[in-house]
Structure 1
Amino acid sequence: MSYAEELREHARIAILRMLADAPSYTSNVSMMTDLLRRFGIGYTRDQVVGEIRWLEEQGLLNAEDHHGFVIATATVRGVEVAQGIVTYPGVQRPRPGN
């Protein structure tokens, strides 16, 4: 697996974990971009939107675009992936206790 693929899988699980911890399982791209940087994933807003769109296509979250301001909400399946209850190809599995 390439570095870019590994980073993408890390970003996807980080997004899902952020949503699982967020009130109403919902957050916006601006907040997620800032938090990803704190986790050492220096994604741009466009890259975060791209991952949100991918996660939405997989049924792991729902996204709404409000004139360029994207808001994401985790689905039940997305929360299960974030918690490590189920695995999903293309999303890193969280480590036990994390």
Structure 2
Amino acid sequence: MSDYIETLSRHRRLTILRFLADSPEYTSNVSILEDVCNKFGVTSNRDQVVTDLGWLREQGFADYKGEGDFIVVTATARGVEIAQGKTRHEGVQRPRPGH
């Protein structure tokens, strides 16, 4: 994977986790997450978001139910810790202080 694509994926994963950490019940759906990533300048399509959700699930940072047109995603406690900068993982961009 190219450095740019990997950097974009790390930023997308952080954006997803941060949004979930601030969402009621730490939950959202893939369509909203795609919109959020694009709103925050992390250019993303649905396939990229779903791919990164699979990665987040493999790492134990999020879980999801459903498939196809409607996927509901929930952050785990570990995912929230990453989003808040309390812990780190090399596959997720570290949040800047104060964010």
Sort the TM-score into its range (normalised by shorter chain).
Answer: over 0.9
Could you say which residue in structure 2 is the equivalent of 1:44?
Answer: 45
Q: Which amino acid in the other structure matches residue 63 of structure 2?
A: N
Q: Does 1:12 align with 2:3?
A: no
Partner-residue secondary structure (3-state), 1:46: helix
Give aligned pairs, total: 98
Could you say which residue in structure 1 is the equivalent of 2:36?
Answer: 35
Q: Which amino acid in the other structure matches residue 56 of structure 1?
A: R
TM-score by length of 1: 0.95
Between the aligned partners of 1:63 and 1:57, the Cα distance in structure 2 is 11
Q: Show structure 1 runs of 5+ residues with no match.
A: none
Q: Show structure 2 runs of 5+ residues with no match.
A: none
What are the within-5 Å matches in structure 2 for residues 1-98 of structure 1?
2-98=3-99
Between the aligned partners of 2:17 and 2:83, the Cα distance in structure 1 is 5
Between the aligned partners of 2:38 and 2:10, the Cα distance in structure 1 is 15
The CA deviation at 1:49 is: 0.6
Between the aligned partners of 1:94 and 1:47, the Cα distance in structure 2 is 20
- TM superposition outliers: structure 1 runs of 4+ over 4 Å: none
- CA shift digits 1:38-92 (9 cap, x unpaired): 1111211111011001000000011111553111100000000000000012101
- CA shift digits 1:12-40 (9 cap, x unpaired): 00000000000000000000101111111
Q: Which amino acid in the other structure matches residue 11 of structure 2?
A: H
Between the aligned partners of 1:66 and 1:5, the Cα distance in structure 2 is 24
